[in-house]
Structure 1
Amino acid sequence: MKETTTTVGSPPGGHNGAQAGPEEVRRAIAEAFTAAGSAGFVHAVDIDSGVQFEYGADDPVLLASVCKIPVLVELHARADEGTIDLSSRMLLPQAGRSPGPTGLSVMVDPVEVSLRDLAYWMISVSDNAATDVLCELLGIDAVNARMAGLGLKEVRLEGTCKDIYDAFDEVLGGADVTELSAAQIERLRGSRALHIPSGTRGTARSLTALLSMIWQDQVASAESCAAMRRILGLQVWPHRLRSGFPDDSVTVAGKTGTLPFVRNEVGVVEYRDGGRYAVAVFTCPDSSAYANPPADAVIGTVARIAVDHLRGSQSTG
């Protein structure tokens, strides 16, 4: 996919119909991140033309649950290769499931489910237990090799969801990450799961590239890529990326990622006029709070600024 950097775009706070240049757009994004109490990294690209906007797009970032997209890709690619049957079913006991706030992680009874539906839970509600079942089946090394083969060596998983919780336990002794003292918060900052290169990582540009390949049927068969797009469109969280695009005429498909000091979302925004834009926003809030509405909202804000910039550049030339 050919990529070129935009030179003009829709102005955040522009006047008299003038179009803002990329540096003005970057300043607006920097101000939005500052107001939200967070550092941030952004990449947006027109999937069809390759025109792009970047703000720290090549800096390594922690993926958190955004890493579930590479797992989704590996699963469907293996199904295409005939080594995985998505309709095959697994009986999963309650004991031993990976921790988390949603899905299988909080269910109290044994569950029998297909691999296809495990993938749905992994993406739609960011189910950690479903993710780790798939990671064990596929192998994390295989996921990383798939990403490298696609030219995305920056995307690398360094363990399962359970491994992240284990890393937190190493510094917290099992304390709940949502109920920490000031001293515990400082210890948590030092966790290996929250630092690069020991944490699962990528870049904003590498994630928009992966999304663009899914939308262009380049990571698997057309049928499998359509299935992945469908699942990404079923994510239940509307409070980040979607908040920047509230019009029902615009569709948004994506995946969030959340850890202490980390709030992310990557996705594809599609307009009725045919415009398709892959967007990745990664943030590093100063606060470890699980509930952080300003950090959630800024993801939608800066994504909208970036996409408006791309659409404005197209309208002017």
Structure 2
Amino acid sequence: MNIYGWIGLLGIIFFTLIPFFNKAHRTREEIQKAIITITIVSGIMIAVLVFNINFLTAFLLGVLAMILFDRKTYTKKRLTIYGVIILIAGIAAYALLRDNPNYVIQHLEENPESSSLYLAENGEPVITYHSTDIRPLASTVKTLIALEYAMQVEENKIEKDQRIPLVDLNRFYWKNTDGGAHEAWLEAVKQNGGIQNNEVTLHDVAKGMVTYSSNANTDYLINLLGVDAINQRKTELGLTQHEDVYPIGSALLIPDYIQKDGMSEKELIKALQNLSMEDYRNLAQSISLQMKTGEIKANETTFDSSPAVQRVWSDRLIGASANDYGKLLALISNDELPPNAAETIRDLMEWPMQLNEENYKKYKHIGSKGGSTLFVLNNAMYVENLKGDQYEIVLLLNDLKFHEHFLLRNNRKSFESKLMNDANYRDEVLDALSN
């Protein structure tokens, strides 16, 4: 819950109590109403802070509770009004939540300047829709970092079982920057008995980066593996449409780093945009090193940048083409890496198989890494079914509005599933995007 949510809820409590400064309003009925309102608002806060319930969900449930506790609700007129509202809300919910993979096709058709789709079947590209355009990768870039990790394991530069103190990881952690991913990973490792003496294995750190998408683990690994080594690897792999890697978590601190006293948000955004990409990367790397040494203590603060400032960060994330990530996925899927590296990267990427045992009834392999911001929704995925057919799918979507992000997220999986399992649907998508 961001600061605006807190202000709103505290505002409700404040305006509920104001009338009681006037003695005439201190009736039993008004006091009961105030107690109910404050209790519901407090319940929303507890639901968000203690039980990690989504703020919007908790708020809507709170509104529903206020309606149910209001005596006026139970008049014929009010019941009719609420009945109509519920009916309209139900129709809207069906339209928004129903399974509609064709919405993804429609979005791709209408937004060629900000959308890419790559599909290969058994090594042959089938759909290459704006697949050479470079788009922000968000967390999908962690695929490349995971591959560099696997290669350094192969080359005996690092060991999977080496112990990593949690305090070293926590130096890179900034609360509210990864949707609770880091906390979820820590809880999972704890449940599996993976934390001993406040240390975890390096391989668990890598799994936290891929499976849970922890930004803290990502920046830790970038520092450990070396930015230059990762960028050299992408060159060796022939990823010619891939921008240089830099620590993505620490880049979120750049606005605080360059902001001066009295600087407005508009001036801050302009200052960020005026930074050259080289200066931006170097600053992110410098901040990351200061986080590593403890000079910058991001773990003692909470992230709360406005959407406008986050937009600059999102637009400047490491970019690449869908073609390059199709190529990267094929290296893994076709076992073109050295044996130990191949085993390591599959263990990291194939978390969907481990997450859902039902997948074993249809597939030999599924490896995936998504990535999203408020404006980006991506997924890079390789699949091999029980017949031995192999697919690589890369979907990169940028410049999304809130409702587009919501609908695309809801329908992406069914779209990808139909692409893999229905040859007629693949032809339908190809025809639509070719036109």
Q: TM-score normalized by structure 1?
A: 0.72
1:127-142 alignment runs, 5 A limit: 127-142=214-229
Cα distance, 1:254 vs structure 2:
0.1
Q: Match for 2:181 among 102, 106, 127?
A: 102
Q: Tell me which residue corresponds to 1:176.
A: 304
- Which has the larger displacement, 87-96 or 209-218? 87-96
Q: Match for 2:212 among 104, 116, 125?
A: 125
1:55 equivalenced with 2:129 (yes/no): yes
Cα distance, 1:123 vs structure 2:
0.7
Structure 1 counterpart SS, 2:249: helix
Cα distance, 1:269 vs structure 2:
2.2
- Which has the larger displacement, 268-277 or 304-313? 304-313
* Cα distance in structure 2, aligned partners of 1:155 and 1:271: 29
1:22-41 alignment runs, 5 A limit: 30-33=105-108, 39-41=114-116
1:14-55 C-alpha deviation (Å, 9 max, x unpaired): xxxxxxxxxxxxx9854144789x942110112x34243111
The 8 Å contact of residues 375 and 398 in structure 2, kept in 1 or not, is answered as yes
Structure 2 counterpart SS, 1:161: coil
* Cα distance in structure 2, aligned partners of 1:305 and 1:176: 38
1:41-120 alignment runs, 5 A limit: 41-46=116-121, 48-93=122-167, 95-99=170-174, 100=178, 101-103=180-182, 111-120=198-207
Q: Tell me which residue corresponds to 1:254.
A: 368
Q: Match for 1:214 among 332, 335, 341?
A: 332
The 8 Å contact of residues 116 and 397 in structure 2, kept in 1 or not, is answered as yes
Cα distance, 1:149 vs structure 2:
0.5
* Cα distance in structure 1, aligned partners of 2:397 and 2:426: 25
1:186-205 alignment runs, 5 A limit: 186-189=308-311, 191=312, 193-195=313-315, 198-205=316-323
Letter matched to residue 199 of structure 1 = L
* Cα distance in structure 1, aligned partners of 2:212 and 2:155: 27
Q: Match for 2:408 among 295, 300, 305?
A: 295
Distance 1:128 1:90, change over 3 A: same
The 8 Å contact of residues 166 and 198 in structure 2, kept in 1 or not, is answered as yes
* Cα distance in structure 1, aligned partners of 2:237 and 2:424: 25
Structure with higher RCO (Cα < 8 A, 6+ apart): 1
Cα distance, 1:205 vs structure 2:
0.9
Cα distance, 1:157 vs structure 2:
4.1
* Cα distance in structure 2, aligned partners of 1:154 and 1:310: 31
* Cα distance in structure 1, aligned partners of 2:374 and 2:226: 26
1:137-152 alignment runs, 5 A limit: 137-152=224-239
Larger relative helix fraction: 2
Q: Match for 1:230 among 347, 357, 374?
A: 347
Q: Tell me which residue corresponds to 1:274.
A: 388
Q: Tell me which residue corresponds to 2:249.
A: 162
Aligned length: 269
Letter matched to residue 200 of structure 1 = I
Structure 1 counterpart SS, 2:387: coil
Cα distance, 1:274 vs structure 2:
1.1
Query: Which residues of structure 2 form unaligned runs of 5+?
Result: 1-101, 188-194, 260-264, 269-301, 428-435
Letter matched to residue 307 of structure 2 = I
Q: Tell me which residue corresponds to 1:23.
A: none
Distance 1:106 1:117, change over 3 A: closer
The 8 Å contact of residues 125 and 236 in structure 1, kept in 2 or not, is answered as no
Structure with bigger gyration radius: 2
Larger relative strand fraction: 1
* Cα distance in structure 2, aligned partners of 1:284 and 1:63: 9
* Cα distance in structure 2, aligned partners of 1:305 and 1:233: 20
1:255-286 C-alpha deviation (Å, 9 max, x unpaired): 11011201111111222211110110111253
Letter matched to residue 115 of structure 2 = G
Distance 1:107 1:230, change over 3 A: closer
